Structure 1
Amino acid sequence: MSLLDEKDLNEIVHEISMRFFGKPFYDNAIYNHRLRTTGGRYIPAKRTIEMNPKYTSEFDDEELIGIIKHELCHYHLHVEGKGFRHGDRDFKNLLKATGSPRHCSPLPSAEKRFKHIYICKNCGHVYRRVRRVNLAKYRCGKCRGELVRDNKKG
């Protein structure tokens, strides 16, 4: 999908809101080019949904719709005065009811960023890092096991 202008983005958000939630989206959806690690975010003080424009150019429509549904869960629960944060039961229930994803997929362009990969000897958990890790100083955060470099990548 190519980058939509903000008028088209608002129309799509309104359409998804009506289709999956049965409620209109009255406020604003905009692009935020400064977003790096997330597909979108909801700002309660402004009642605005901000979308990462890279997700419209690097992914298909299905991923974009999932991100919009996730942000609309925040929006509709906030408007209704219910728990709209990630840890709230209302939010988790609405995610499940609408088939919205809990997290968005990482950008393909961001995947190439990691230069070092470390694996826990004990539990096998994989750590991807931009910077090197001092293996004498750090342990696995899950099981406290010893970390080793993955020689294929790092």
Structure 2
Amino acid sequence: MTDEQLQAWIEQISLRSFGVPFRHQARFNSRLRTTGGRYFMKSHHIEINPAQLATYGEEEVERIIKHELCHYHLHLAGRGYQHRDADFKALLQKVGGSRYCHSLPGSKQRKVLPHRYKLVCTECGMEYLRKRRVDPNRYRCGKCAGRLRLYTLSGG
């Protein structure tokens, strides 16, 4: 699929699903690695990852396009266009866009760190597991406001 075909496809989806035309530029960007697409707030352009199309097909990429068009139309309308906004979530649900794109095969998975530290309240015994070392003197227990003591867990 060419950039021109992508442009026409996005314009068609915008009219069919949103009832509003897409008046900016759309293109493929093969440098995208961790995302299916992105919307640029300054230029209002949309980029789509061509690897998503090659791997998962047109149906999945259409959901990604709807996701980016939600950002586009809400931003231009002056409404909540960010992932956390209720307007965005409601419109995404209404048009059937994807909340997250599938990860590509061969992409690196994020390394999950084990819990290596434990903070224990000296007053009530509440325990807080941490993956990174923190200074216990900077924090207090969330339950009773008691002092915390830091322990290093073995096997991590």
TM over 0.5: yes
1:99 to 2:96 alignment? yes
| TM-aligned CA distance change 1:138 to 1:49, over 3 Å | farther
Counterpart in 2 of 1:10? 7
User: Do residues 144 (structure 1) and 141 (structure 2) align?
Assistant: no
State the identity %. Answer: 43
Q: Give the match for residue 57 of structure 1.
A: 54
The answer to whether the aligner puts 1:47 opposite 2:44 as a matched pair is: yes
Rg: which structure is higher? 2
Give, as a single letter, the amino acid of the residue that structure 2 aligns with 1:18: L
The 3-state SS of whatever aligns with 1:14 is helix
Q: Report whether the alignment pairs 1:109 with 2:88.
A: no
Q: Tell me, which stretches of 5 or more residues in structure 2 are unaligned?
A: 119-127, 131-152
Rounded to whole Å, the distance in 1 between the matches of 2:38 and 2:80 is: 16
**SS in structure 1 of the partner of residue 39 of structure 2:** strand
Name the residue aligned to 1:74: 71
TM-score for both structures, normalised by structure 1: 0.72
1:23 corresponding residue in structure 2: 20
Q: TM-score normalized by structure 2?
A: 0.71
Displacement, 1:22? 1.1
**CA deviation map 1:49-96 (0-9, x unaligned):** 011111111111111100000000000001111111111111111011
SS at match of 2:27: strand
Deviation at 1:108, TM superposition (A): 2.0
Structure 1: stretches of 5+ with no match in the other structure: 115-127, 150-154
Which runs of structure 1 show a deviation greater than 6 angstroms over 4 or more consecutive aligned residues?
none
**C-alpha spacing 1:144/1:42, structure 2 compared with 1 (3 Å):** same
Count how many residue pairs are aligned between Structure 1 and Structure 2: 125
1:85 partnered with 2:82: yes
- Measure how far apart 1:102 and its partner are: 0.8
